[in-house]
Chain A
Amino acid sequence: DQQVKQNSPSLSVQEGRISILNCDYTNSMFDYFLWYKKYPAEGPTFLISISSIKDKNEDGRFTVFLNKSAKHLSLHIVPSQPGDSAVYFCAASSSGGSNYKLTFGKGTLLTVNP
Chain B
Amino acid sequence: GAVVSQHPSRVICKSGTSVKIECRSLDFQATTMFWYRQFPKQSLMLMATSNEGSKATYEQGVEKDKFLINHASLTLSTLTVTSAHPEDSSFYICSAGLGEDQPQHFGDGTRLSIL
Name A's B-contacting residues (CB within 8 A).
2, 4, 9, 34, 36, 41-46, 49, 89, 96-99, 101-107
Assess whether B32 is in contact with A41, with CB atoms less than 8 Å apart. Answer: no
Q: How far is the CB of A3 from chain B (nearest CB, A)?
A: 10
Counting chain B residues whose Cβ lies within 8 A of the other chain, the interface size class is 20 to 34
Assess whether A43 is in contact with B6, with CB atoms less than 8 Å apart. Answer: yes
Q: Which of B9, B36, B106 contacts A45 (CB 8 A)?
A: B106
Residues in A whose Cβ lies below 8 Å from that of B60: none
Assess whether A97 is in contact with B49, with CB atoms less than 8 Å apart. Answer: no
Assess whether B108 is in contact with A107, with CB atoms less than 8 Å apart. Answer: no
Q: Mark B1-30, 1 if CB is under 8 A from A, else 0.
A: 000101001000000000000000000000
Residues in A whose Cβ lies below 8 Å from that of B108: 41-43
Residues in A whose Cβ lies below 8 Å from that of B49: 101
Interface residues of B in 93-110 (CB under 8 A from A): 93, 95-109
Q: How far is the CB of A70 from chain B (nearest CB, A)?
A: 21
B46 — nearest CB in chain A belongs to which residue?
A: A101
19 pairs across A/B with beta carbons < 8 Å? Answer: A9-B41, A41-B9, A43-B95, A43-B108, A43-B109, A46-B105, A49-B103, A89-B44, A97-B97, A97-B102, A98-B99, A98-B100, A98-B104, A99-B32, A99-B100, A101-B34, A101-B46, A101-B49, A104-B36
Interface majority SS (helix, strand, loop, mixed), chain B: strand
Interface residues of B in 56-115 (CB under 8 A from A): 93, 95-109, 111
Assess whether A104 is in contact with B44, with CB atoms less than 8 Å apart. Answer: yes
Assess whether B46 is in contact with A43, with CB atoms less than 8 Å apart. Answer: no
* Most B C-beta atoms less than 10 A away, residue of A9, A46, A49, A96: A46
